[in-house]
A and B are shown apart, each in its own frame.
Chain A
C-alpha cells in the first residue's frame, strides 16, 4: 500500500532538512512526527509534523487539490537558546524554500503563522513553531 502524498511530503521534507546535514542541527535531531519529547541536552532539535487539512477541492474532473499544514518546530536549550532556535528555524526555512516542489510532490508552499515560546526545564528553553501550507494534487481516488 503506497503512502499518502501528505506522508510522502513529510518524508521529503525530512530528507531536505537532513541531506546534507544543516549547520544548526544534527541530522539525528531532525524528527518526523515525533512521539516522545525532544532531548535537547546536547543540541537543538527540529520536529517535522503534518497538521490538519481543509476539505479538498475538485478543480479538475478526476483530480483533487489538497492543502496540508506542515509544522516545523525548532527547540533549543541553554544560555543562547533564543538565538539558537532562531538560527535553526531560519536555516530550515531557507532549506525548505530551496525546493518548494519537494521533488514533484507539491506545487506550492505558502507560509502561515509563527509561534514563539520561552521557558525553562532546568535549562533555558526556546521554541519556534512555524507553520506552512503545502498545496498538492491527487487523483480523486487517492490521497
Chain B
C-alpha cells in the first residue's frame, strides 16, 4: 500500500518537474538535471546531477557513459556515483566524459 503510494508520488513529481532526458544504454529516462557552480579542493567547476526514478535505471553502474539533453543541448557524461534515496528516487553524480 505505502510502496504503491510512494511510486505514484515519485511518478507524479518526476513527470511534473523533469527538465531533461538521459539516454542510458539506448533508453530514454526523464528526470531533473542541475549543474551548479562548485569549488572543490581549491578548483572551480560545476556539479552535474541527474535525479530520476530508480526503477528507470535498473542496470546502470558506475563509470557508465550516458548523455543528457537539457535545454536542447546534449552532453556526454560518465556516472560517478549513484545515490539511491531508499524511497524510489536516484541521484546520479556525473562527471564530464
Contact = CB atoms under 8 A, between A and B. Distances in A.
Contacts of B40: 119-121, 125
Contact of A123 (B35, B39, B42, B95): B95
Contacts of B12: none
Contacts of A38: 42-44
Contact of A125 (B35, B41, B48): B41
B94 interface: yes
Interface residues of A, number: 21
B45 A123 contact: yes
Interface residues of B, number: 17
Interface in B42-75: 42-48
Interface in A35-83: 36-41, 45, 47, 73, 75, 77-78
A127 B80 CA distance: 18
Contacts, number: 58
Main secondary structure of the interface of A (DSSP, over half): strand
A113 interface: no
Nearest to A76: B43
A141 interface: no
A121 B43 contact: yes
Contacts of A37: 39, 42-44
B38 interface: yes
A117 interface: yes
B72 to A, nearest CB: 20
Interface of A: 36-41, 45, 47, 73, 75, 77-78, 117, 119-125, 127
Interface of B: 35, 38-48, 80, 93-96
17 contacts: A37-B39, A37-B42, A37-B44, A38-B44, A40-B43, A47-B42, A121-B38, A121-B40, A121-B43, A121-B44, A121-B45, A121-B46, A122-B46, A122-B94, A122-B96, A125-B45, A127-B43
